[in-house]
Every structure is written in structure tokens, then in C-alpha cells.
């Protein structure tokens, strides 16, 4: 069997978080906030006191034997002016500080933020001085040029599956196709023991035993290309495979848990095996390819952590590659099955009755009718170009409801793609709903129109909202 051909030009890399040195404006703003505001306030009090004491020493100021109000007005204006100045200064300082704090967007891992390294060909801060061998070591074994170990948030266990020719193509791309950016990545701050880079050596030895990709002669060239894209470059398993207690992906390609769904950064990436409930069993290869290219299909929209995967990466794949991925995913046997969908007239009728007459056992029905039906339809069929169907939604049937709950709490947006039309938005409901109402409406969706998945406990919503601070 032929090894898969060299990759299509890789998608542009995620922007490197650039921590520039604080500008003069930020310095001034911060020092003004710390020193200036209290100083003006103190001066203002002192000034007013002194002025008042002097001007009014002999009682109300007089002029030609009459009380003279100009002194009072001047005093009042000076006081108000100083106060307004101090307040504006404080607000400006706060805003500038917030802006400067928003510069870095670290990738959140369960034990703290990890900043992506500068991977532009800048010779000082980036990888400009890397030889091809050093680049391969970093990409596939997680060893930087200076011998430092990279954190496993860099998906090198997945990149280990790449062939030398693919690594070389990536090297050429990063060296000659990317503009150097002379920014030092901010130092990653993790609590002990994760701040000990050597710890990741053991992590690697323990969990990342992952050979090169070897084409499987029992399968077609298309299947092998799909397997190679999913396992290597796409590192789909980094999110879609459950992580163990040590943040390790529980098993790679040979494992029964591979691509059966996992939670990363409080988004649940669903089961991609052939399970007809929560997996891709009812999706056609064309459905999968359209989802990865356009960011949506008739069944679902990409959102949350999947939106940037489509927006920055899979939408640029050619149709051959998309169909290869789809063919490979469709070949995965159903594993870790959960939830069922059985379209039936009886199920639909009972849901419609609950929606229109209300039943005490299904308190989410009323919420659904008031807040969700206008986009997803009372019949759960969705509306074309507005919102996906919820009847039979594999994500809604998943054993893990994290993504559905988070979507209801904070809303989301589908990615911008060349072919996919206007991105769609699901609104946030955290201000309208209590935790138990969110649990009720999610439980209703999981049990309506023939959907059959376990209800959600309010405590699950509370736990998630605490974790994401929403």
C-alpha cells in the first residue's frame, strides 16, 4: 500500500499570542491608577479644606456689605472638577489595564494556562534556528532545540504518526511560508509539579508510545489517507478521545476508547465512532465532509472548541481529504454507545402534548416552548439556515452533556467558512435561567421527539458554571 501523499498546504497556524512589552501608555495608565488617583483625591480634599477655611474664616464672604456667592461657586466647581478628573483617570486606567491583560489568550488546561510557543521562523524567539532534525524532535518527541521538554498540550503524541516527508513539508512551510514574528511567548506559569518540564518526560514515556503511521494494506488508499489525517495532522483524538487523570489521551488508535468522546477545556467533543445514538452512526460520509468544510450540515453546526478547528483548519482541506476523513470515521465500529433515537409517531405526539398542555413531570417543556422553539421548532426539526434539529441530535444524546449545558449557559457561534454562509448564533441563557431550569430544559430535549438519554441533574449545571465562572 502506498504511504499517503504529502499533505495539502497546512492550514495557517493559530496566531501566536504576542505579549509585547507594556507601552508607555499602559505604564502611565497603571501608575496614574496607583499613585495619581489617590494623590488627586488627597490634594482635592486638602485644597477644598484650605480654601474653605481661608475664604470663610470670617464667616460668609462679604462684598460691599453683601454676602458674595462667587467664592462658594468657585469652590464647588473646583471640587467637582478635581473629582471628575480623578474618576475619569481611574476609569481610563482600569480600561487600559484590561486591554493589556487581554493580549494573551492562553490555551486552558485543567491545571493552568499553557501558552503556545512562538513557532514563527524568528531566529531569537521562534524556531528560525531549528534544523530539520530539531524541528522533527520538537514536533514528534516534544523536545525543544535547547533540550527543554514541551508540555503535552502541544499535540506531539499525534504528530508522532507523521512520516518524515510530511514533517519535512511542515518544516518548509513554517520556515519559508510563515512571516517571522519577533515576540517572546509569555512564560508559561503552572503550579508545581507541572512547572517542572522534566515531569513531561515521564508523561511522554508513560502515555505517548505512538509509532509512525503505518498504512494498513487491508484498507483502501482513501481509508489510509483518512486515518493518517485524523490520527496525525488533524489530531482529532486530542479532543475526541477521553483523557485520563494525568491529562493523557486514554489510548490511541488501537484502543477501544479511541475517538469515543472526551472533555477538554470544559467542552465535550462527542463520540465519532459508529454508535447510532451519540456517535456518527446516522451521519453519512457526505454529512461529515460537509460539516468539516462548511461548519454545518443538515444535522448540526460546529460550535465551541470545534468552531476554530473548522474555521482555521478543516475548511481548507480538499474534497478528497474530507471524504477520506469521512470514510475512515465511518469505518469505526460503534463503541461506548449511549443514548438512542427512535423516530415514532407516539413519541412525537407525547412531546407535542407536553408542549401544549404542559405536564408536571416535564417542567422543561414550557421553557422549551417559550425560549427555544422559535429557532429549533416545536417539533424539534430545526429551521434551515437558523438552527439545527434537536430531534435525533447525536450531541444531545451523548452520555456527557457538558457541551449542551455550556452552550445553553454561554451561547456560541458557528465558524466563518468560505462555503457555509453567515455564521449562526445560539444565544446565552445564563441570565434568564437558574441552574435547575437549565437542567430541566436540557433534560426535556434529551427525552423529546424520540430522543432517549438520561436526564441532567441541576448539580451538574452548577458544577460546570463554577468551573467556567459563568
Point out which residues bind ligand HEC (CB under 6 A). 230, 234-236, 238-240, 264, 267, 269-270, 272, 288, 291-292, 300-306, 309, 314, 325, 371-372, 374-376, 387-388, 390, 393-396, 403-404, 407-408, 412-414, 424-427, 429, 441, 445
- Of 242 and 388, which has the nearer Cβ to ligand HEC? 388
**Number of neighbours of residue 434 by Cβ within 10 angstroms:** 12
CB of 151 to ligand HEC, least distance (A): 16
Pairwise CA distance, residues 329 & 295, whole Å: 17
- Of 82 and 375, which has the nearer Cβ to ligand HEC? 375
Cβ atoms of 12 and 120 closer than 8 Å: no
CB of 450 to ligand HEC, least distance (A): 15
CB of 335 to ligand HEC, least distance (A): 14
Q: Which of 143, 394, 395 is nearest to 281 (CA)?
A: 394
Task: Read off the DSSP letter of residue 14.
Answer: P
- Of 122 and 435, which has the nearer Cβ to ligand HEC? 435
CB of 174 to ligand HEC, least distance (A): 19
The HSE-up count of residue 188 (CA atoms within 13 Å, CB side) is 25
- Of 228 and 267, which has the nearer Cβ to ligand HEC? 267
Q: Which three cell numbers stand for residue 369?
A: 416552548
CB of 307 to ligand HEC, least distance (A): 7
- Of 71 and 309, which has the nearer Cβ to ligand HEC? 309
Cβ atoms of 452 and 339 closer than 8 Å: yes
- At CA 141, angle to CA 135 and CA 145, rounded to 5? 40
- Of 100 and 412, which has the nearer Cβ to ligand HEC? 412
DSSP lists the bridge partners of residue 122 as: none
CB of 262 to ligand HEC, least distance (A): 9
> Can you point out the beta strands (E) in 317-408?
340-341
Cβ atoms of 467 and 266 closer than 8 Å: yes
Residue written as grid cell 504511504: 3
Amino acid at each position: 500500500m502506498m504511504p499517503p501523499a504529502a499533505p495539502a498546504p497546512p492550514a495557517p497556524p493559530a496566531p501566536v499570542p504576542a505579549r509585547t512589552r507594556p507601552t508607555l501608555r499602559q505604564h502611565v495608565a497603571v501608575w496614574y491608577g496607583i499613585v495619581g488617583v489617590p494623590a488627586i483625591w488627597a490634594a482635592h480634599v486638602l485644597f477644598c479644606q484650605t480654601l474653605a477655611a481661608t475664604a470663610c474664616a470670617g464667616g460668609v464672604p462679604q462684598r460691599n456689605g453683601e454676602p458674595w456667592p462667587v467664592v462658594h461657586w468657585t469652590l464647588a466647581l473646583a471640587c467637582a472638577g478635581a473629582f471628575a478628573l480623578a474618576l475619569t483617570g481611574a476609569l481610563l486606567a482600569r480600561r487600559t489595564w484590561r486591554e493589556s491583560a487581554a493580549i494573551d489568550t492562553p490555551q486552558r488546561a485543567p491545571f493552568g494556562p499553557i501558552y503556545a510557543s512562538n513557532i514563527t521562523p524568528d531566529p531569537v524567539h521562534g524556531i528560525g534556528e531549528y534544523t530539520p532534525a530539531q524541528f522533527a524532535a520538537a514536533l514528534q518527541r516534544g523536545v525543544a532545540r535547547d533540550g527543554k521538554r514541551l508540555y503535552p498540550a502541544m499535540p506531539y503524541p499525534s504528530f508522532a504518526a507523521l512520516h518524515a516527508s510530511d514533517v519535512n513539508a511542515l518544516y518548509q512551510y513554517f520556515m519559508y511560508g510563515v512571516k517571522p514574528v519577533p515576540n517572546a511567548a509569555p512564560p508559561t506559569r503552572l503550579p508545581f509539579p507541572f512547572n517542572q518540564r522534566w515531569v513531561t518526560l515521564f508523561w511522554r514515556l508513560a502515555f505517548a508510545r505512538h509509532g509512525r503511521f503505518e498504512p494498513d494494506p487491508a484498507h483502501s488508499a482513501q481509508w489510509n489517507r483518512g486515518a493518517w489525517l485524523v490520527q496525525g495532522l488533524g489530531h482529532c483524538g486530542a479532543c475526541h478521545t477521553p483523557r485520563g487523570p494525568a491529562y493523557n489521551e486514554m489510548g490511541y488508535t488501537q484502543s477501544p476508547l479511541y475517538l469515543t468522546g472526551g472533555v477538554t477545556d470544559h467542552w465535550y467533543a462527542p463520540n465519532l465512532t459508529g454508535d447510532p445514538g451519540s456517535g456518527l452512526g446516522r451521519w453519512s460520509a457526505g454529512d461529515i465532509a460537509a460539516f468539516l468544510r462548511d461548519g454545518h450540515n443538515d444535522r448540526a453546526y460546529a460550535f465551541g472548541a470545534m468552531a476554530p478547528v473548522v474555521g482555521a483548519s478543516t475548511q481548507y482541506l480538499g474534497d478528497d481529504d474530507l471524504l477520506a476523513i469521512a470514510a475512515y470515521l465511518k469505518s469505526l465500529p460503534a463503541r461506548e454507545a449511549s443514548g438512542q433515537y427512535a423516530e415514532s409517531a407516539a413519541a412525537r405526539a407525547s412531546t407535542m402534548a407536553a408542549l401544549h398542555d404542559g405536564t408536571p413531570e416535564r417542567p422543561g417543556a414550557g421553557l422549551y416552548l417559550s425560549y427555544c422553539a422559535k429557532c429549533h421548532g416545536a417539533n424539534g426539526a430545526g429551521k434551515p439556515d437558523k438552527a439545527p434539529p434537536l430531534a435525533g441530535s447525536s450531541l444531545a444524546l451523548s452520555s456527557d452533556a457538558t457541551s449542551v449545558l455550556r452552550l445553553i449557559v454561554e451561547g456560541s457561534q458557528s465558524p466563518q467558512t468560505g462555503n457555509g454562509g453567515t455564521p449562526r448564533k445560539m444565544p446565552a441563557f445564563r441570565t434568564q435561567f437558574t441552574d435547575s431550569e437549565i437542567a430541566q430544559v436540557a433534560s426535556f430535549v434529551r427525552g423529546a421527539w424520540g430522543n432517549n438519554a438520561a436526564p441532567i441533574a441541576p448539580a451538574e449545571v452548577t458544577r460546570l458554571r463554577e468551573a467556567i465562572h459563568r
